[in-house]
Amino acid sequence: MAGKVSVGKYLTWVLLLLGQLHGYKSCVEKERIALLELKKYIISITEEGESNSVLPTWNYNTKSDCCHWEGLKCNLKSKRVTDIAFGTLNLKESSLLNLSLLHPFQEIRSLNLSKSRFINLSAYKENEFNDDAFNKLAGLFDDVEGYKSLSRLRNLEILDLSSNKFNNSIIPFLSAATSLTTLFLRSNNLDGPSPLNELKELTNLKLLDLSDNRFNDSIPARELSTLRKLEALDLSDNEFSGSMELQGICKLKNLQELDLSRNKLSGQFPLCLTNLTGLRVLDLSSNQMTGKVPSALGNLESLEYLSLFDNNFEGFFSAGSLANLSELRVLKLGSLSNSLQVESTSSWKPRFQLNVIVLRSCNLENVPYFLLHQKVLRQVDLSHNKLSGNFPSWLMENNTELKVLTLQNNNFTSFQLPKSAHDLLMLDVSVNCFSHLFPENIGLVLPHLASLNISNNMFQGNLPSSLGIMKSLQFLDISHNSFRGKLQRSFVEGCYSMRILKLSHNKLSGEILPSSTNFTSIWELSMDNNLFTGNIVHGLRKLEHLLLLDISNNNLTGVIPSWIGELSSLNAILLSNNLLEGEIPASLFNVSNLLLLDLSANILSGGIPPHVSSANPVALFLQDNNLSGSIPATLLVNVTVLDLRNNRLSGNIPEFVDTQNISILLLRGNNLTGRIPRQLCGLRNIHLMDLAINKLNGSIPSCLSNTSFGLGKEDMSYDYDFKWGYMGSNFKDAFTLEQDSSPSMENDGRHFKSLLVLDPINWYFMHDTQTKIEFATKHRYDAYMGGILKYMFGLDLSENELVGEIPVELGGLLELYALNFSHNYLSGVIPTSFSGLKNVESLDLSFNRLQGRIPEELTELSSLAVFKVTYNNLSGAIPQGKQFNTFDIESYLGNPLLCGEPTKISCESSNIQEPDNEVEADESTIDMVSFYWSIVAAYVTVLLGILAFLSIDSHWSRAWFYIVDVFIHKVRNLLW
């Protein structure tokens, strides 16, 4: 009997299943038509040429079941649509979504308008460098229902609008969706104070994600207290500021996950958070919090994820206070103030087994003892501490699943690998005190390493041959050590996955790369400051994906091969400070993505190619060579920095065709002649202009006052730090160490499931090359680097042949920090308008023919640190007060008519004459016409005297004519 019942139940289930399958053949016809209308609208706002990629499975075939269309789910019984996810859309900018098209879907439970929430997720900002990761929806509308549109969708629980371009205009629409339990607004253009006051009607919310926007002001804790069902709240990556007064948040007794990281929150840790005993995730990292880390954190018995690093915590904290948190999986502590002391020596045994431990800048002197009890660690970061002695290889031996080990900036002295092979993926021991040979068996013990950083140590000897068997190695930085010898063939052929290779500042020698090099996927190659010799060989030619090539400061010889210009992906080419000769290949100026070209300090000769063809503004460094000829008039097209100092260029400064991008123009130390072209007066972005040590003549154009030197604002549009970012590939574990951020995704080895997107371990590297510009200020030739160049303004016309008066209009150069007109032939007086140079710190007018008094108004220049007027014809009393009280006699030498301090000459002395400036100018001016006539008269007088003397018949006259006859006779004999 029991068997019959069992068979009956089985048949019943089979019939039900068949019935379900039969009923799933087709969705509701009304909704199928509505879906096609929705697709039609999406196509209308899609970029041209992309319509075929819009929801391709949504079709007009009546036999096609819309419940099987991509991005859709249906209720098995009612056959109505419950979930809609559009996925990737290539929409036009500022596209709007018509919400009325969603009204037919009465049972819709989940609406996802984002691309994948996990595309290109980095530890800094999601999609920060990839605009294609956004769907570009900018707003919502409904011409009939208006703001109440979403209230028609009474079953809508999950709304994901993340990774779009929505602004605050969508908030009134959202306030009507009172059925929502989950709302994602991550990575949009929302700004201003938090909109929570307008969302207070969404009392059913359990998850709210407002991260990665531009919200500011204080956190609206009071408004949050009305959302009593809230379980997860993410306000990270915004600009919230003010003290951490979170009383409203602390009333959310159901709260399990709270992420306020990467804001500007200050004040002490809010102790009320320790009363939220159900809290599983707490992330307050990267803020400006101060005070002590409370031991009361040990009360949060459910805590799995705790991150407080990158704040300004101070004082003593015992990690033992967390010993009883048995669920803890991720612990991140640290302080930017370097005043936090984390206890690490006591022998307490924790109840937790961590997967991630980050104790960065915690003043640790020993590896924490409790780590001896950890067996499942996957990431360990003990960087920026005071750890010394032997490298803790036991961390790898005890934790077979360890993937990331970061011990940067400590005092370790002995690097020893574990005895057996390990699957570690990332190892960083940079900035320590290792000074011995690097282990030869690195490739055997750590064969799966994807990233290895041992830079800034004192490792010696040759590179290990076993590096060649590390087939997965993508990032290798051995810079700033004492490695020597040639690059081994096994290394350049075997590490074919290499993306970033930094060998800078060692003693490596031999040729750059042999022809057998197999770095075909490499992005950055930095081999500068070594002892490499020979020509630039064809091994580089295979590097088709190369973005940055730096082989500067070596002993390379020969010519620059033209095929380097065929590497079309190059952003930066740095070949400076070698012994390269010959002409500049025109192909280098035609690299389509070029940002930086540095060929300085070589022996290059010949002319300069006419123009740069890059799609980007280019910094061009060609100084300290033997370049000759004239400067091409088209050279400034798309060039932002041009350095041609100390070459052999001649001719006039050309009438440049395009000057809109140029911000630094350095032509010092050539043989340029002619006048300063008035066309330079149109430089609207100029920061530094150096035309010194040439043979320029004529007067100084008064229209230079129209340049950006006088605009009264800095040009912030150009960044003088050249930065490149690299996202690693084939490194899945780097993103799967933290947590699963979606119930629909596989766990993939993450520590726990989380509703929020927490910090993943990033496989992301930045290269930063700072622009270095030399410019003479304050009697020194200083180098200015990077971002400071945005605020540096200087004009140097010294050591030329300029004449005439200094234009009074130049007193309007408000932004100048340094002005040098010395060693010319300038005349007239120092303009009183120079009192308008409010920012000038260095003013040099020495070695000219200036006259008259030093204007008293110059004492108003409160920033003036160097004032030089030596060897002119100045007279009268030297002004006193403010900055002029700091200048000594060296500023005024060669002006005998000056008096007062610091010359020690009394202005009341009868020996000092102080004539009126205009009279003095007239008296000191030479009458050149009279001067020339006097020379002619003297010449004629002397000639007549000689003729009169020879006309007298005397012994001397006969001797003179005899000598002339003999000379003529000898000349005739020679010619005939």
Residue range 425-464, pLDDT digits in tens: 999 999 999 999 999 999 999 999 999 999 999 999 999 9
The answer to whether 536 touches 515, Cβ cutoff 8 Å, is no
H/E element, 139:
strand 137-141
Q: Indicate if the pLDDT at residue 399 is higher than 80.
A: yes
Q: Indicate if the pLDDT at residue 52 is higher than 60.
A: yes
For 615-654, the pLDDT digits (tens) are 889 999 999 999 999 999 999 999 999 999 999 999 999 9
Q: Indicate if the pLDDT at residue 491 is higher than 80.
A: yes
H/E element, 397:
helix 394-398
Q: What is the pLDDT of residue 23?
A: 41
CB-count burial class (<10 Å; 0-12, 13-18, 19+) for 98: middle
Can you tell me the distance from the alpha carbon of 475 to that of 591, in angstroms, rounded to the nearest whole number?
25
CATH of the domain at 79: 3.80.10.10
User: Which residue matches tokens 């990690």?
Assistant: 319
Q: Which residues lie below 8 Å from residue 64, measured CB to CB, with a gap of 6+? A: none
Helix residue ranges per DSSP H, 865-954: 917-924, 928-951
Q: Indicate if the pLDDT at residue 751 is higher than 70.
A: no
Q: Indicate if the pLDDT at residue 578 is higher than 60.
A: yes
Amino acid at 701: P
The answer to whether 161 touches 187, Cβ cutoff 8 Å, is no
**3-state SS, one letter per residue, for 146-200:** HHHHHHHCCCCCEEECCCCCCCHHHHHHHCCCCCCCEEECCCCCCEECCCCCCCC
Mean pLDDT over residues 385-401, rounded?
Answer: 95
The answer to whether 213 touches 190, Cβ cutoff 8 Å, is yes
Strands 548-550 and 764-770: unpaired
Can you tell me the distance from the alpha carbon of 71 to that of 53, in angstroms, rounded to the nearest whole number?
14
Q: Indicate if the pLDDT at residue 419 is higher than 80.
A: yes
Q: How confident is residue 2, by pLDDT bands cut at 50, 70 and 90?
A: very low
* Percent with pLDDT over 90 in the chain: 67
Residue 167 lies in a domain: yes
Q: How confident is residue 903, by pLDDT bands cut at 50, 70 and 90?
A: confident
**Which tokens belong to 45?**
């706002």
Number of domains in the chain: 2
Q: What is the pLDDT of residue 935?
A: 72
Mean pLDDT over residues 779-784, rounded?
Answer: 65
Q: What is the pLDDT of residue 708?
A: 80
Residue 133 lies in a domain: yes
Q: What is the SS3 assignment for 660? A: coil
Q: Which of 244-258, 737-751, 913-927 has the lowest mean pLDDT?
A: 737-751
Q: Indicate if the pLDDT at residue 587 is higher than 80.
A: yes
Residue 781 lies in a domain: no
Can you tell me the distance from the alpha carbon of 311 to that of 317, in angstroms, rounded to the nearest whole number?
14
**Which tokens belong to 482?**
């004492």
For 276-318, the pLDDT digits (tens) are 999 999 999 999 999 999 999 999 999 999 999 999 999 999 9
Q: Bridge partners of 905? A: 900
Q: How many CA atoms lie within 13 A of 769 on its CB side?
A: 20
Residue 646 lies in a domain: no
- DSSP one-letter string for 745-784: S--TT-SSB-SS---PPP-EEEEEEE-EEEEEETTEEEEE
Q: Indicate if the pLDDT at residue 18 is higher than 50.
A: no
Q: What is the pLDDT of residue 219?
A: 87
Residue 959 lies in a domain: yes
Domain's final residue, options 150, 169, 189: 189
Amino acid at 458: M
Q: What is the pLDDT of residue 243?
A: 85
Q: What is the SS3 assignment for 790? A: helix
Mean pLDDT over residues 682-690, rounded?
Answer: 90
- Backbone φ and ψ of 243, nearest 5°: -75, 160
Strands 764-770 and 721-727: antiparallel
Helix residue ranges per DSSP H, 521-571: none
Q: Indicate if the pLDDT at residue 43 is higher than 90.
A: yes
**Which tokens belong to 756?**
């929020």
Residue 252 lies in a domain: no
Q: What is the pLDDT of residue 917?
A: 43
For 151-196, the pLDDT digits (tens) are 999 999 999 999 999 999 999 999 999 999 999 999 999 999 988 8
- Helix, strand, coil percentages in the chain from 3-state DSSP, rounded to 5: 25, 25, 55
Can you tell me the distance from the alpha carbon of 838 to that of 831, in angstroms, rounded to the nearest whole number?
14
Q: Which of 31-45, 154-168, 619-633, 767-781 has the lowest mean pLDDT?
A: 767-781
Domain's final residue, options 189, 211, 231: 189
Q: What is the pLDDT of residue 533?
A: 96
Can you tell me the distance from the alpha carbon of 478 to that of 481, in angstroms, rounded to the nearest whole number?
7
Q: What is the pLDDT of residue 479?
A: 97
Q: What is the pLDDT of residue 732?
A: 41
Containing domain of residue 165, as a range?
24-189
Q: What is the pLDDT of residue 649?
A: 97
Residue 613 lies in a domain: no
Which of residues 429 and 728 earns the better pLDDT score?
429
Residue 162 lies in a domain: yes
* 897-907 exposure pattern, b = at least 16 Cβ within 10 A, e = fewer: bbbbbbbebee
Q: Comparing C-alpha atoms, which of 463, 568, 453 is closest to residue 506? A: 463
Q: Which residues lie below 8 Å from residue 562, measured CB to CB, with a gap of 6+? A: 585, 586, 587, 588
Q: Comparing C-alpha atoms, which of 282, 263, 286 is closest to residue 322? A: 282
**Which tokens belong to 302?**
């459910």
For 267-278, the pLDDT digits (tens) are 999 999 999 999
Can you tell me the distance from the alpha carbon of 675 to that of 669, in angstroms, rounded to the nearest whole number?
16
Domain's final residue, options 143, 160, 189: 189
Q: Indicate if the pLDDT at residue 135 is higher than 80.
A: yes
Which of residues 789 and 507 earns the better pLDDT score?
507
Q: Which of 45-54, 309-318, 849-858 has the lowest mean pLDDT?
A: 45-54
**Mean pLDDT over the full length of the chain:** 85
For 879-890, the pLDDT digits (tens) are 998 889 999 999
* Percent with pLDDT over 70 in the chain: 82
